Amino acid sequence: MSLMEEYNPLKGKRLEILQPDGTLKQGMKAPLDDKVTFTLYRQMLFTRLADQRCLSLQRQGRFGTYAPIWGQEACQIGSAYLLQKGDWVHPAFREIGATLMMGVPLKTYLLYWMGNEMGSRAPEGINVMPVSVPVGSQPLHAVGAAWAAKLKGEKVITLTYFGDGATSEGDFHEAMNFAGVFKTATIFFCQNNQYAISVPRRLQTASETIAQKAIAYGFDGVQVDGNDLFAVMVATKEAADRARSGGGPTLIEGVTFRFGPHTTADDPTKYRKDEEIEPWKPLDPLVRLRLYLKQKDLWSEPVEQRLTEELQKEIDQSVKDAEAVPVPDPEDIFKYVFAEMTPSLKEQLEYLKSTL
């Protein structure tokens, strides 16, 4: 029986492998050897530390705004790790983990949030689309790109990330429908972090799971513990194998929790009580991986300290490099919309110039 059959969302089952105490669920195997597990733990820690730095850069006025990943590292690192050269990531706006995992330099990612459009350009050969702020728009792009690749006979997968809130957008349903009909090689990764700004998951949809929405579109969906790196990887591997072999799309719902604010412009204390956050703390994706690695003598406090120092240095350098890039000309914001500026854009540009 395939994983997707066994974990058909209508059976009410959620794929879990690595338990919060760091042990494997009975009968389950780790999908990775210890060396790679450690490397991915390091990547998750890098992401968390970089995320914390982004928050503090915003608080110091050195960033415009920022949408923190805090808590969702396993969803992104476990899934992006499984992509191959030539595959594409279509992110929303919270995807620092997947973006860095794909090989985009941290400096580039920082530039985007510093307001420099050069931050939207991944280096040649690293296929990460720019941040997509309009909620739910990027699944359509991912399906279109996968369909184009299919028509060209290329075995390319597109992996798109979005939140639980995005599943209420028409775009999401159009993308799912199109992907099902044309059997595109798309992995839809919903990070169900329980909230769309202040709207809780229970007010988002009457479906019991988000994963089950795939069934209506004629393909498989699976719900996984999104704080469990191993479960995310096993589900993504099956989805990727299926997509690559022409079997079409898959919807993965990673059940997780956003520990931080929606963005730096949000105050979650207005809609979320501490009692709600507490039960999620022991489920933290980094904590359980640490416990797992500790049992194997691969993690200890001194190891964590050494790693942290090493990674903080890398982050310091990236911040320095990003801040050394000249601030873009405000006129640039008018330049990339049309080949030739429309009269109203010209008018707005003149107005902006008069105020500078």
Ligand X SMILES: Cc1ncc(C[n+]2csc(CCOP(=O)(O)OP(=O)(O)O)c2C)c(N)n1
Which tokens in the block code for residue 69?
A: 């990943």
Examine residue 248 and tell whether it contacts ligand X (CB under 6 A).
no
Cα–Cα nearest to 9, from 209, 249, 234: 209
**48, 53, 94, 258: which one is catalytic?**
258
Q: Is the dihedral of CA 231, 232, 233, 239 positive or negative?
A: positive
Residues touching ligand X: how many (CB under 6 A)?
Answer: 15
Options 68, 97, 163, 180; binder of ligand X; rule CB under 6 A:
163
The verdict on whether 14 is a catalytic residue reads no
Examine residue 226 and tell whether it contacts ligand X (CB under 6 A).
no
Examine residue 193 and tell whether it contacts ligand X (CB under 6 A).
yes
CA 128 to chain centre: 11
The verdict on whether 258 is a catalytic residue reads yes
Query: 290: buried, middle or exposed (CB in 10 Å: 19+, 13-18, 0-12)?
Result: buried
Q: How far is the CB of 110 from ligand X (least distance, A)?
A: 20
What string of DSSP letters covers 120-174?
G-PPTT--BPPP--STT-HHHHHHHHHHHHHHTT----EEEEEETGGGGSHHHHH
**242, 262, 288, 290: which one is catalytic?**
262
Cα–Cα nearest to 157, from 166, 147, 167: 147
Examine residue 134 and tell whether it contacts ligand X (CB under 6 A).
yes
Q: How far is the CB of 106 from ligand X (least distance, A)?
A: 20
Nearer to ligand X, 94 or 107 (CB): 94
Examine residue 166 and tell whether it contacts ligand X (CB under 6 A).
yes
Cβ proximity of 14 and 223 under 8 Å: yes
Nearer to ligand X, 9 or 165 (CB): 165
Cβ proximity of 50 and 98 under 8 Å: no
Examine residue 66 and tell whether it contacts ligand X (CB under 6 A).
no
Options 71, 139, 165, 221; binder of ligand X; rule CB under 6 A:
165
The verdict on whether 109 is a catalytic residue reads no
Q: How far is the CB of 182 from ligand X (least distance, A)?
A: 24
Options 44, 131, 175, 196; binder of ligand X; rule CB under 6 A:
196
Which tokens in the block code for residue 197?
A: 């700004």
* Positions in the binding site for ligand X (CB under 6 A): 94, 133-135, 162-166, 193, 195-197, 258, 262
Point out the residues that are catalytic: 258, 262, 271
